[in-house]
Amino acid sequence: MAGSSLEDTLAAIGYVKVIVTMKDRASAAATSEIAMQDHFIAPDTAQTQSLVAAATRSAGRQIRGAESLAERRVRIYPNLGLAVGSVDASGLVSLQADPQVGKVDKAPEISLIKPVEARPIKTGVGPTWGIKRLNVERLWQAGFTGQGVVVGHLDTGVDGKHPALAGAIKKFAEFDLAGDQVPNAPARDSGVHGTHTAGTIVGRPVSKGRFGVAPDAQLASAMVIERGQVIERILAGMDWVIGEGARVLSMSLGLRGFTPAFQSVIDALRAANVLPVIASGNEGPRTSRSPGNYANVLSIGAIDVHDVVPDFSSSQSFNRAISPLCPAIVAPGVAITSCVPGKKYETMNGTSMATPHVAGLAALLLQARPTATADQLEAAIIGSCARPEAMEEARANHGVPDAVRAYELLTGSQLPAAQVSVAPRRRTPAKKRSARGRSSSHPPRSVAKKMARRPKVAASRRPARKKSPSKRRPA
């Protein structure tokens, strides 16, 4: 049923954009846009022309004209089982009466959760503190690096030319301001945020260090924010990553406050066996963002190197029996090093930086148990968490995950021993062996034999050594 916000919008402007949840995904795949379009109204022609012009300037190419966009009243996303379009009052009534329709919600407009601070780095680093804090290196040593796992990534895009992401991008899709996929678009970033979060998930080792949690996993990355028809762009990206076989979806975006309008989208992801890993927001205590504050997402807050939840990390309590506290867990999100466009590197702060850490961890676990469901994966990550005494439950909920413990919970077995190849010992030449194998107080064996054959001289019969005149150093 439509909520009051939907009705308020109808009263204010005469129409409202809605997300339609079909009763099942099969019916969405079988239903054509033409069959559904009678419920919806055509967009305003003048506004559509402006949108086309803006999309053309942004994409640097000619997109479909205003006429074709004006004729397209509804979009169907078959992998999600959803449809999006604008309705007036009569269209809403007919839509709700359609036997194929499950429910109708007002479409929200969500935005990027931007970093709190960003700084360029000049010196190299080893495995970042975030990787060490989550105990990820132990999974690497046992052979789990995310190989064969595809992680969905919805953001500002990704710089496909960055050396830290060489071979890491399985597929890339750019959705323009009108919500249409740009044919044959090269992997690019419209900002810096997407490349940074992508690097934390799948960054390959480079001279600046190791910051990718799953360095052998691959990304299905889509440019979906910001500006333009954001809801169409994001839904198109979600539908696309499911089609690309992603099992985990990393999103650092949301709508400030709580709105149930995106619940149908998250439900669709869970039905497709995809684990949504979503940032809680950067607005501090008693705040959160949707859909990061839903009960059926793995919502992520931030911690710093001292296990302190920073002031910017969002947290909020909800009046519900299941998962009443957001975020579900916390992860490293302060002074996080990763790559940015232009072959550069920066440290950033934010729950946007914490989220890809957990998405990368999920990829490692999926390599260990490819048949795990999204529910099992989520349960293992949450079950592995510990919360230090100084860390408040209201701010950190379950606490910080541990990669080894999560592996054990998911697989039911102990982590294998580290796969460290030991090179065979080389025989040292005899001349060098004495120096390496004996202390300086023991002569080589050949010299010892000669010394043994010499007659021993009593100490009393040994000639006394002449003392050399002392040489004084100048003062």
For 358-406, what is each residue's pLDDT tens digit?
999 999 999 999 999 999 999 999 999 999 988 999 999 999 999 999 9
54 has a pLDDT exceeding 80: no
Does the annotation mark 193 as catalytic?
yes
Question: SS3 of 151, please?
Answer: strand
Which segment, 83-92, 227-236, 438-447, is predicted with the most confidence on average? 83-92
Q: Give the pLDDT band (50/70/90) at residue 52.
A: low
Q: Specify the length of the chain in residues.
A: 475
Same domain, yes or no: 137 and 30? no
CATH of the domain at 317: 3.40.50.200
One-letter amino acid of 150: V
Return the higher-pLDDT residue of 2 and 242.
242
Q: Does residue 378 lie in a domain region?
A: yes
Identify whether 137 is preceded by a cis peptide bond (ω within 30 of 0). Answer: no
* Domain limit, last residue, from 48, 79, 106: 106
Q: What is the DSSP string of 41-93?
A: -PPPHHHHHHHHHHHHHHHTS----HHHHHH--EEEETTTTEEEEEE-HHHHH
Instruction: Give me the residue label for tokens 């910080």.
Output: 400
- 364 neighbors 146 (Cβ within 8 angstroms): yes
**To 10 degrees, what angle do helices 351-368 and 374-383 make?**
110
* Domain limit, last residue, from 411, 443, 468: 411
Same domain, yes or no: 101 and 131? no
Among candidate residues 39, 105, 155, 323, the one labeled active-site is 155
Same domain, yes or no: 268 and 397? yes
- 185 neighbors 240 (Cβ within 8 angstroms): no
Domain interval for residue 266: 111-411
Among candidate residues 39, 193, 357, 398, the one labeled active-site is 193
Rg (CA), the chain: 31
The pLDDT value given to residue 418: 78
Does the annotation mark 352 as catalytic?
yes
Q: Does residue 218 lie in a domain region?
A: yes
One-letter amino acid of 471: K
Same domain, yes or no: 92 and 117? no
What's the rounded Cα separation, in Å, for the pair 4 and 106?
10
Return the higher-pLDDT residue of 344 and 73.
344
* Domain limit, last residue, from 76, 106, 136: 106
Q: Does residue 466 lie in a domain region?
A: no
Same domain, yes or no: 131 and 225? yes
User: CA 272, 274, 278 angle in degrees (round to 5)?
Assistant: 135
How many domains would you assign to the chain?
Answer: 2
Q: Does residue 370 lie in a domain region?
A: yes
Same domain, yes or no: 254 and 313? yes
**Which residues pair with residue 329 across a beta bridge?**
300
Return the higher-pLDDT residue of 273 and 48.
273
Same domain, yes or no: 35 and 117? no
Q: Pairing relation of β-strands 117-120 and 218-223?
A: unpaired
Q: Does residue 427 lie in a domain region?
A: no
- Distance, C-alpha 354 to centroid of its chain: 8
- Give the closest residue to 282 by CA, choosing from 357, 348, 226, 213: 348
- 302 neighbors 288 (Cβ within 8 angstroms): no
The pLDDT value given to residue 69: 54
What's the rounded Cα separation, in Å, for the pair 301 and 353?
9
User: CA 309, 310, 316 angle in degrees (round to 5)?
Assistant: 70
Residues 6+ apart with CB under 8 A from 239: 77, 78, 79, 80
Q: Does residue 417 lie in a domain region?
A: no
Q: Does residue 424 lie in a domain region?
A: no
Among candidate residues 86, 352, 357, 402, the one labeled active-site is 352
**To 10 degrees, what angle do helices 230-243 and 263-271 make?**
10
- 296 neighbors 302 (Cβ within 8 angstroms): no
What's the rounded Cα separation, in Å, for the pair 297 and 349?
22
For 437-467, what is each residue's pLDDT tens digit?
333 334 444 434 444 444 444 443 444 444 4
Same domain, yes or no: 148 and 95? no
The burial class, CB within 10 Å (0-12 / 13-18 / 19+), for 37 is middle
Q: Give the pLDDT band (50/70/90) at residue 122.
A: low
Same domain, yes or no: 230 and 270? yes
Q: Give the pLDDT band (50/70/90) at residue 92.
A: very high
The burial class, CB within 10 Å (0-12 / 13-18 / 19+), for 147 is middle
Residues 6+ apart with CB under 8 A from 302: 309, 310, 312, 313, 330, 331, 332, 333, 334, 349, 350, 351, 353, 354
For 63-76, what is each residue's pLDDT tens digit?
544 445 556 788 88
For 30-40, what is each residue's pLDDT tens digit?
777 777 888 99
The pLDDT value given to residue 10: 87
Same domain, yes or no: 144 and 255? yes
Does the annotation mark 398 as catalytic?
no
Same domain, yes or no: 133 and 95? no
179 has a pLDDT exceeding 70: yes
Q: Does residue 464 lie in a domain region?
A: no
108 has a pLDDT exceeding 90: no
Same domain, yes or no: 27 and 176? no
- 354 neighbors 324 (Cβ within 8 angstroms): no
Per-residue pLDDT averaged across 298-314, rounded? 97
Q: Give the pLDDT band (50/70/90) at residue 425.
A: very low
